Copies of this chain bind each other. A is one copy, B any other.
Amino acid sequence: MNRTSDHDVMDQARGWAARGEGVAVATVVGTQRSAPRPIGTRMVIGEGGGIDGSVSGGCVEGAVVEAAEALLAGGAPQLLEYGISDEQAWDVGLQCGGAISVWLERWEPSAGTPDDCLLEAARDGRRAAVVTLLDGERAGAKLFVDAAGERHGTLGADDLDAAAAAAADTLLWEERSAVREVLGQAVFVDVVAPPPRLFVFGAVDYATALCALAAQLGWRPFVIDPRARFAQPERFPAAEEVVAKWPQEAFTQLGGIDAATAIVVLTHDPKLDDAALELALRSPAAYVGAMGSRRAQESRRERLLALGLGEDELARIAAPVGLDLGAQSAEETALSIMAEIVALRRGRTGGRLRDASGRIHATAP
A343 to B340, CA, bound (A): 13
Chain B residue at minimum C-beta to C-beta distance from A319: B354
Q: Is A322 an interface residue (CB 8 A)?
A: yes
- A339 in complex: contacting residue of B216, B325, B361, CB < 8 Å: B325
Interface residues of A in 326-358 (CB under 8 A from B): 326-329, 331-332, 335-336, 338-340, 342-343, 345-356
Q: Is A97 an interface residue (CB 8 A)?
A: yes
**CB-defined contacts of A325 to chain B, threshold 8 Å:** 339, 342-343, 346, 348, 350
> Does B217 lie within 8 Å of A216, measured CB to CB?
no
**CB-defined contacts of A338 to chain B, threshold 8 Å:** 335
Q: Is A295 an interface residue (CB 8 A)?
A: yes
A221 to B345, CA, bound (A): 28
**CB-defined contacts of A348 to chain B, threshold 8 Å:** 324-326
A349 to B354, CA, bound (A): 11
> Does B353 lie within 8 Å of A322, measured CB to CB?
yes
Chain B residue at minimum C-beta to C-beta distance from A268: B96
> Does A361 lie within 8 Å of B327, measured CB to CB?
yes
- A356 in complex: contacting residue of B324, B360, B361, CB < 8 Å: B324
A353 to B327, CA, bound (A): 11
Q: Is A34 an interface residue (CB 8 A)?
A: yes
Q: Is A48 an interface residue (CB 8 A)?
A: no
A321 to B353, CA, bound (A): 7
- A328 in complex: contacting residue of B38, B216, B293, CB < 8 Å: B38
Q: Is A212 an interface residue (CB 8 A)?
A: yes
> Does A351 lie within 8 Å of B328, measured CB to CB?
no
Most chain B Cβ neighbours within 10 Å, of A34, A38, A217, A354: A354
A345 to B328, CA, bound (A): 11
**CB-defined contacts of A351 to chain B, threshold 8 Å:** 323-324, 349-351
Q: Is A270 an interface residue (CB 8 A)?
A: no
> Does B346 lie within 8 Å of A326, measured CB to CB?
yes
**CB-defined contacts of A213 to chain B, threshold 8 Å:** 213, 216
> Does B295 lie within 8 Å of A97, measured CB to CB?
yes
A 40-65 to B, binary, CB cutoff 8 A, 1 in contact else 0: 00000000000000000000000000
A 169-186 to B, binary, CB cutoff 8 A, 1 in contact else 0: 000000000000000000
CB<8 Å pairs between A and B, sample of 15: A4-B329, A38-B328, A320-B354, A322-B352, A323-B343, A323-B352, A323-B353, A324-B352, A325-B342, A325-B346, A326-B343, A326-B347, A335-B342, A340-B352, A350-B351
